[in-house]
Amino acid sequence: MTPKRKQRLIIILALVFGSSLAIGLTLFALGENINLFYSASQIASGDAPKNTRMRFGGMVVKGSVERSTDSLEIAFKLSDGASQVKVVFTGILPDLFREEQGIMAEGRLDEQGVFQADEVLAKHDENYMPPEIAESMKKKAEAIQ
C-alpha cells in the first residue's frame, strides 16, 4: 500500500468509527428519551400507557386548582374540552400558569389514572397555545359537532 493510500485508509476508518459512534449514541439516546404527547381524552379512555414518561397537555380547568397547606404540592385538572384528568405536581409553577391557560406537563401516569408531573411548562406568550394542545382541542370540537 502506498503511504498516501494508507493515510486515506486511516482517515476513512476514523470517519467510519466516528460516525458509527455518533449514530450508536444517537439511536440509543433517542430510544430512551422520546416523550409522546397524549391528550386528556386519550388518557381518560385508557389509551395512554401507565408509568411511562410522556407529555400531557390541555387547558387548566377553572376552579380545579388545589394547593396543599404545608408543602408545595399542587393538584389541578387538565382538559381538552371533552375529558378531564387530574395532575399532581410538587414545586414552583411557571409564571404563566393560571386557570383556563394551555399547559404542558411532563411526567408519568400512575395506577390510579392521576398524572404525576415532574415538570410543568407554560409558554412565554399568554396567547400562545402549544400546537399539540390546539390540535387535540380542535379534534374534540369537531367530534362534538
Partner 1 sequence: MIPEIGEFSLILSLCLSVVLATIPLYGVAIHNQLWMNYAKPLVKGQFLFLSISMICLGYSFAVDDFSVAYVANHSNSQLPTPFKISAIWGGHEGSLLLWAFILSGWTLAVSFFSRALPLDMLVRVLSVMGMIAVGFIAFLLFTSSPFARYLPQFPADGADLNPLLQDFGLIVHPPMLYMGYVGFSVAFAFAIAALLSGRLDAAWARWSRPWTNIAWAFLGGGITLGSWWAYYELGWGGWWFWDPVENASLMPWLVGTALVHSLAATEKRGVFKSWTLLLAIFAFSLSLLGTFLVRSGVLTSVHAFASDPERGLFILVLLFLSIGGSLTLFAFKAPNVKSDAQFSTVSRETLLLVNNVFLTVMAITVLLGTLYPLLLDALGGGKISVGPPYFNAVFVPIMSLMTLAMGASMTIKWRQTKTETILQTLWKPLAGSLLIGIIFPFIYGNGFDFSVFIGISLSCWVFATTGLGFIYKFQHTASYWDRLKKLSLSYYGMMFAHVGVAVVAVGITLVSVYSEERDIRMEKGDTVELSGYTFEFQGTKMVKGANYSADQGRLIVTKDGELITELNPEKRHYTVKRSMMTEADIDPSLWRDLYVALGEPLDEKGNAWAVRVHYKPFVRWLWLGGLLMTLGGLLTVADKRYRKKVVV
Q: Which of 4, 63, 111, 112 binds partner 1 (CB under 8 A)?
A: 4
Decide: is 6 part of the binding site for partner 1 (CB under 8 A). yes
C-alpha cell at 60: 387548566
Decide: is 55 part of the binding site for partner 1 (CB under 8 A). yes
Decide: is 142 part of the binding site for partner 1 (CB under 8 A). no
Cα distances (Å, whole numbers) of residue 87 to 59, 60, 99, 112, 128: 12, 10, 13, 11, 21
Sign for the CA dihedral angle at 29, 104, 54, 42 comes to negative
CA 111 to chain centre: 19
Decide: is 62 part of the binding site for partner 1 (CB under 8 A). no
Residues counted in the chain: 145
Query: Given the rule CB under 8 A, which residues bind partner 1?
Result: 3-4, 6-7, 10-11, 14-15, 18-19, 21-22, 25-26, 28-30, 32-37, 55, 67, 69-72, 90-93, 95-96, 104, 106, 123-126, 128, 130-132, 135
